[in-house]
Amino acid sequence: MIRQERCSLSVASGSALSVPAAQSAAPVDQGLPMTRYIEEILQPGEKVLYSTNEHWMFFLPAIAAGLMVVVFLVLWRLVTNDALMLVCLALAAMTGLAALYWTATAWFHRWTTETDVTNLRVVHKTGFIRRRTFEMSLDKVESVDVNQSLAGRVNEVW
């Protein structure tokens, strides 16, 4: 079951920002050697109220590829033909490399994306070298819409 949620912020000018709703909140001060973007741009008197990162669903392609590796390795053990054994091993190796690549890219995307709500504004930052940010004053936010599936309502853990 996959819970898909979107959070929309309506602005007084009529435009809207729609971003995937994040799964879990992270403490602001994690003691990491690299400072977070929000810590670099906080104004005097501004406090972080909520901080989050991207949903774990970015890892789903890597998880699926990892499961396929297991399937190919099981087939490799079950097949008696040498040519088919070689094909199963080659497919397992290629799928394993794809799983590693997708794991690394999903981790990097999750690591370089942050969304924060302070007492003055909403800040969304993506990117590492080429940084893209979106900042909106809380005064301009008219409403917040959360679209949550039935599975998400029943099972709040996801």
Does the reported pTM lie above 0.75? no
Task: Give the 3-state secondary structure of residue 139.
Answer: helix
Q: Please state, in angstroms and rounded to a whole number, the distance separating the CA atoms of residues 150 and 148.
A: 7
Q: Please state, in angstroms and rounded to a whole number, the distance separating the CA atoms of residues 2 and 134.
A: 27
Q: Please state, in angstroms and rounded to a whole number, the distance separating the CA atoms of residues 41 and 135.
A: 11
CB of 115 closer than 8 Å to CB of 22: yes
DSSP class of 154: H
What does the domain layout of the chain look like in residue ranges? Answer: 6-54+114-154, 59-106
User: Which residue, 125, 126, 122, is CA-closest to 136?
Assistant: 122
Give the tens place of pLDDT for each residue, 75-90. Answer: 999 998 999 999 999 9
Give the tens place of pLDDT for each residue, 12-42. Answer: 444 444 444 444 444 444 555 567 888 888 8
